[in-house]
Structure 1
Protein backbone atom coordinates (compact mmCIF):
# COMPACT_ATOMS: atom_id res chain seq x y z
CA UNK A 1 0.00 0.00 0.00
CA UNK A 2 2.81 2.40 0.87
CA UNK A 3 4.54 1.69 -2.41
CA UNK A 4 1.35 2.44 -4.35
CA UNK A 5 0.88 5.79 -2.57
CA UNK A 6 4.55 6.67 -3.01
CA UNK A 7 4.35 5.81 -6.70
CA UNK A 8 1.18 7.90 -7.11
CA UNK A 9 2.73 10.91 -5.34
CA UNK A 10 5.91 10.62 -7.42
CA UNK A 11 3.89 10.48 -10.63
CA UNK A 12 1.83 13.54 -9.60
CA UNK A 13 4.94 15.57 -8.76
CA UNK A 14 6.60 14.68 -12.05
CA UNK A 15 3.49 15.57 -14.04
CA UNK A 16 3.21 19.02 -12.45
CA UNK A 17 6.93 19.80 -12.62
CA UNK A 18 7.27 18.92 -16.31
CA UNK A 19 5.17 21.78 -17.67
CA UNK A 20 6.84 24.35 -19.92
CA UNK A 21 6.80 28.05 -19.10
CA UNK A 22 5.03 28.73 -22.39
CA UNK A 23 2.20 26.22 -21.95
CA UNK A 24 -0.31 28.88 -20.85
CA UNK A 25 0.58 31.66 -23.28
CA UNK A 26 -2.13 33.37 -25.29
CA UNK A 27 -0.01 35.87 -27.21
CA UNK A 28 3.46 36.71 -28.49
CA UNK A 29 5.79 37.68 -25.63
CA UNK A 30 9.01 39.57 -26.34
CA UNK A 31 11.79 40.66 -24.01
CA UNK A 32 14.96 42.67 -24.59
CA UNK A 33 18.53 41.51 -23.97
CA UNK A 34 21.18 44.21 -23.76
CA UNK A 35 24.36 42.82 -25.32
CA UNK A 36 26.08 46.20 -25.47
CA UNK A 37 28.44 47.89 -23.03
CA UNK A 38 25.91 50.70 -22.48
CA UNK A 39 22.97 50.77 -20.09
CA UNK A 40 19.69 51.07 -21.97
CA UNK A 41 17.67 53.70 -20.10
CA UNK A 42 14.70 53.24 -22.43
CA UNK A 43 13.97 50.89 -25.32
CA UNK A 44 10.90 51.60 -27.43
CA UNK A 45 9.78 48.75 -29.67
CA UNK A 46 7.29 49.60 -32.42
CA UNK A 47 5.30 52.22 -30.44
CA UNK A 48 4.84 53.87 -27.04
CA UNK A 49 2.77 50.82 -26.09
CA UNK A 50 5.97 48.76 -25.73
CA UNK A 51 8.64 50.53 -23.69
CA UNK A 52 11.29 48.69 -21.70
CA UNK A 53 13.22 50.65 -19.07
CA UNK A 54 16.59 50.33 -17.34
CA UNK A 55 18.03 47.28 -19.08
CA UNK A 56 21.59 46.90 -17.82
CA UNK A 57 24.58 45.48 -19.65
CA UNK A 58 24.16 41.73 -20.34
CA UNK A 59 20.73 41.89 -18.68
CA UNK A 60 17.23 40.90 -19.76
CA UNK A 61 14.00 42.88 -19.46
CA UNK A 62 10.69 41.37 -18.48
CA UNK A 63 8.49 39.97 -21.24
CA UNK A 64 5.77 42.15 -22.76
CA UNK A 65 2.74 40.87 -24.66
CA UNK A 66 2.16 41.81 -28.30
CA UNK A 67 -0.96 41.39 -30.38
CA UNK A 68 1.15 41.28 -33.54
CA UNK A 69 4.94 41.02 -33.89
CA UNK A 70 7.67 40.11 -36.36
CA UNK A 71 11.28 38.84 -36.20
CA UNK A 72 12.43 42.45 -36.32
CA UNK A 73 10.83 45.79 -35.59
CA UNK A 74 11.36 49.53 -35.23
CA UNK A 75 13.56 50.03 -32.16
CA UNK A 76 14.63 53.24 -30.47
CA UNK A 77 17.22 52.99 -27.67
CA UNK A 78 18.00 55.83 -25.30
CA UNK A 79 21.27 55.56 -23.40
CA UNK A 80 22.21 58.65 -21.43
CA UNK A 81 21.88 61.62 -23.77
CA UNK A 82 22.17 59.52 -26.94
CA UNK A 83 19.43 57.92 -29.02
CA UNK A 84 19.99 55.02 -31.41
CA UNK A 85 17.43 53.79 -33.94
CA UNK A 86 16.90 50.60 -35.90
CA UNK A 87 14.47 51.38 -38.73
CA UNK A 88 13.34 48.38 -40.81
CA UNK A 89 12.84 49.19 -44.47
CA UNK A 90 9.79 46.95 -44.96
CA UNK A 91 8.12 43.79 -43.76
CA UNK A 92 7.55 42.26 -47.21
CA UNK A 93 7.76 38.49 -46.93
CA UNK A 94 7.75 38.56 -43.14
CA UNK A 95 5.23 36.38 -41.35
CA UNK A 96 3.63 37.18 -38.01
CA UNK A 97 5.22 35.40 -35.08
CA UNK A 98 3.18 32.57 -33.57
CA UNK A 99 2.32 32.58 -29.88
CA UNK A 100 5.50 32.05 -27.90
CA UNK A 101 8.45 33.56 -26.02
CA UNK A 102 11.07 35.54 -27.93
CA UNK A 103 14.07 37.79 -27.27
CA UNK A 104 15.34 40.77 -29.22
CA UNK A 105 19.08 40.60 -28.46
CA UNK A 106 20.24 44.19 -29.03
CA UNK A 107 23.70 45.65 -29.43
CA UNK A 108 25.10 49.02 -30.47
CA UNK A 109 28.18 48.97 -32.70
CA UNK A 110 31.09 51.38 -32.36
CA UNK A 111 29.61 53.26 -35.32
CA UNK A 112 26.36 53.76 -33.37
CA UNK A 113 24.26 51.27 -35.35
CA UNK A 114 21.70 49.08 -33.59
CA UNK A 115 21.96 45.37 -34.33
CA UNK A 116 19.19 42.91 -33.53
CA UNK A 117 19.53 39.16 -33.16
CA UNK A 118 16.19 37.38 -32.95
CA UNK A 119 16.09 34.50 -30.44
CA UNK A 120 13.34 31.93 -29.88
CA UNK A 121 13.21 31.16 -26.15
Structure 2
Protein backbone atom coordinates (compact mmCIF):
# COMPACT_ATOMS: atom_id res chain seq x y z
CA UNK A 1 0.00 0.00 0.00
CA UNK A 2 2.87 2.37 0.80
CA UNK A 3 4.40 1.70 -2.63
CA UNK A 4 1.11 2.49 -4.33
CA UNK A 5 0.79 5.76 -2.41
CA UNK A 6 4.37 6.71 -3.27
CA UNK A 7 3.88 5.91 -6.98
CA UNK A 8 0.63 7.90 -6.96
CA UNK A 9 2.38 10.89 -5.39
CA UNK A 10 5.25 10.77 -7.89
CA UNK A 11 2.86 10.46 -10.84
CA UNK A 12 0.80 13.41 -9.58
CA UNK A 13 3.87 15.60 -9.27
CA UNK A 14 5.06 14.82 -12.81
CA UNK A 15 1.61 15.30 -14.34
CA UNK A 16 1.19 18.72 -12.70
CA UNK A 17 4.66 20.02 -13.62
CA UNK A 18 4.88 22.53 -16.42
CA UNK A 19 7.31 25.09 -17.70
CA UNK A 20 6.53 28.71 -16.92
CA UNK A 21 6.23 29.43 -20.64
CA UNK A 22 3.61 26.75 -21.32
CA UNK A 23 0.35 28.27 -22.59
CA UNK A 24 1.80 31.77 -22.93
CA UNK A 25 -0.09 34.07 -25.23
CA UNK A 26 2.51 36.83 -25.45
CA UNK A 27 6.07 37.91 -25.14
CA UNK A 28 7.17 38.72 -21.58
CA UNK A 29 9.95 41.28 -21.25
CA UNK A 30 11.69 42.60 -18.18
CA UNK A 31 14.48 45.14 -17.78
CA UNK A 32 17.84 44.56 -16.13
CA UNK A 33 19.57 47.77 -15.10
CA UNK A 34 23.21 47.22 -16.06
CA UNK A 35 24.16 50.82 -15.24
CA UNK A 36 25.26 52.50 -12.01
CA UNK A 37 22.22 54.81 -11.77
CA UNK A 38 18.59 54.18 -10.80
CA UNK A 39 16.20 54.04 -13.74
CA UNK A 40 13.13 55.99 -12.62
CA UNK A 41 11.13 54.62 -15.57
CA UNK A 42 11.85 52.70 -18.75
CA UNK A 43 9.35 52.85 -21.58
CA UNK A 44 9.60 49.95 -24.00
CA UNK A 45 7.46 50.40 -27.08
CA UNK A 46 4.10 52.05 -26.45
CA UNK A 47 3.32 54.71 -23.85
CA UNK A 48 1.58 52.27 -21.50
CA UNK A 49 4.49 49.80 -21.26
CA UNK A 50 6.48 51.34 -18.40
CA UNK A 51 8.94 49.51 -16.12
CA UNK A 52 9.50 51.62 -12.98
CA UNK A 53 12.17 52.17 -10.31
CA UNK A 54 14.92 49.78 -11.32
CA UNK A 55 18.03 49.98 -9.17
CA UNK A 56 21.51 49.15 -10.53
CA UNK A 57 21.97 45.39 -11.12
CA UNK A 58 18.25 44.80 -10.43
CA UNK A 59 15.40 43.53 -12.60
CA UNK A 60 11.93 44.91 -13.25
CA UNK A 61 8.85 42.73 -13.28
CA UNK A 62 7.85 41.17 -16.59
CA UNK A 63 5.35 42.99 -18.77
CA UNK A 64 3.46 41.09 -21.46
CA UNK A 65 3.73 42.35 -25.04
CA UNK A 66 1.62 41.22 -27.95
CA UNK A 67 4.58 41.50 -30.34
CA UNK A 68 8.23 42.31 -29.64
CA UNK A 69 11.66 42.04 -31.24
CA UNK A 70 15.25 41.73 -30.06
CA UNK A 71 15.31 45.53 -29.91
CA UNK A 72 12.65 48.21 -29.48
CA UNK A 73 11.93 51.87 -28.90
CA UNK A 74 13.34 52.49 -25.42
CA UNK A 75 13.16 55.65 -23.33
CA UNK A 76 15.09 55.52 -20.05
CA UNK A 77 14.18 58.28 -17.60
CA UNK A 78 16.79 59.16 -14.97
CA UNK A 79 15.83 62.26 -13.02
CA UNK A 80 15.34 65.02 -15.60
CA UNK A 81 17.35 63.17 -18.28
CA UNK A 82 15.96 60.94 -21.05
CA UNK A 83 18.05 58.38 -22.95
CA UNK A 84 16.37 57.06 -26.09
CA UNK A 85 16.81 54.29 -28.63
CA UNK A 86 14.62 54.93 -31.69
CA UNK A 87 14.59 52.09 -34.24
CA UNK A 88 13.72 53.17 -37.78
CA UNK A 89 11.61 50.08 -38.53
CA UNK A 90 11.42 46.31 -38.06
CA UNK A 91 11.41 45.37 -41.76
CA UNK A 92 13.01 41.96 -42.19
CA UNK A 93 13.04 41.29 -38.43
CA UNK A 94 11.41 38.19 -36.98
CA UNK A 95 9.08 38.76 -34.02
CA UNK A 96 10.06 37.00 -30.81
CA UNK A 97 8.28 33.77 -29.98
CA UNK A 98 6.09 33.66 -26.88
CA UNK A 99 8.36 33.38 -23.87
CA UNK A 100 10.46 35.28 -21.34
CA UNK A 101 13.18 37.76 -22.33
CA UNK A 102 15.34 40.42 -20.69
CA UNK A 103 16.57 43.72 -22.10
CA UNK A 104 19.79 44.47 -20.26
CA UNK A 105 20.21 48.25 -20.42
CA UNK A 106 23.19 50.48 -19.80
CA UNK A 107 24.01 54.09 -20.59
CA UNK A 108 27.40 54.80 -22.16
CA UNK A 109 29.61 57.73 -21.17
CA UNK A 110 28.43 59.46 -24.36
CA UNK A 111 24.78 59.08 -23.27
CA UNK A 112 23.90 56.29 -25.69
CA UNK A 113 21.65 53.42 -24.60
CA UNK A 114 23.38 50.04 -24.79
CA UNK A 115 20.96 47.10 -25.20
CA UNK A 116 21.95 43.55 -24.26
CA UNK A 117 19.19 41.14 -25.38
CA UNK A 118 18.87 37.98 -23.23
CA UNK A 119 16.62 34.95 -23.69
CA UNK A 120 15.52 33.77 -20.23
> TM-score w.r.t. structure 2 length?
0.92
1:1-121 → structure 2 map (5 Å cutoff): 1-16=1-16, 18-121=17-120
> TM-score w.r.t. structure 1 length?
0.91
Q: Which segments of 5 or more consecutive residues in structure 1 lack a partner in the other structure?
A: none
Q: Which segments of 5 or more consecutive residues in structure 2 lack a partner in the other structure?
A: none
Spell out structure 1 runs of 4+ moving beyond 2 A: 13-16
RMSD: 1.3
Matched residue SS, 1:57: coil
Matched residue SS, 1:47: coil
